[in-house]
Amino acid sequence: MHFEQQLALAHQELTRYGIQASNSHPISFQLLHWSGLQAPLPHYGHFKTNFSIFSAWYSLIFAIIFILAEIISDTPIALISAIFTSLFAGLTAGISMATYYYYSAKRFNLSPWHQLK
């Protein structure tokens, strides 16, 4: 089965359970799909995969925020401090989001990704 077909079936199942597209299709996964990477939606992804994707995404977002703050403010921000803070925030957000999607999939008893046919 093609990835697009699995994606459509996953979307149908999520809609059937009342899970909104804004919840089931976060921006990070939309960007992955747009770039050609075929990652399953977070409700269907493995915990480690979701953790990795969300941690990278939020670390990048926080790094961009720190760069913008550095450009806008008159006070310099320590580079090491900004890196560690971005990584910590990204890891915290990654574990939170991965846990949320893991338990959400269990709560709605969603089909495993490979069984969507």
> pTM of the prediction?
0.88
User: Is 79 a residue whose pLDDT tops 90?
Assistant: no
Q: How many domains does the chain have?
A: 1
Domain that holds residue 107: 3-115
| Residues sharing a CB contact under 8 Å with residue 70, sequence separation 6 or more, in sequence order | 76, 77, 82
pLDDT digits (tens, 9 = 90+) for 4-63: 899 999 999 999 999 998 899 999 999 998 999 999 999 999 999 999 999 999 999 999
User: Is 117 a residue whose pLDDT tops 80?
Assistant: no
Residue 107 CB burial class (10 angstroms; 0-12, 13-18, ≥19): exposed
> Average pLDDT, stretch 69-73?
86
- Would you place residue 1 in the very low, low, confident or very high pLDDT band (cuts 50, 70, 90)? low
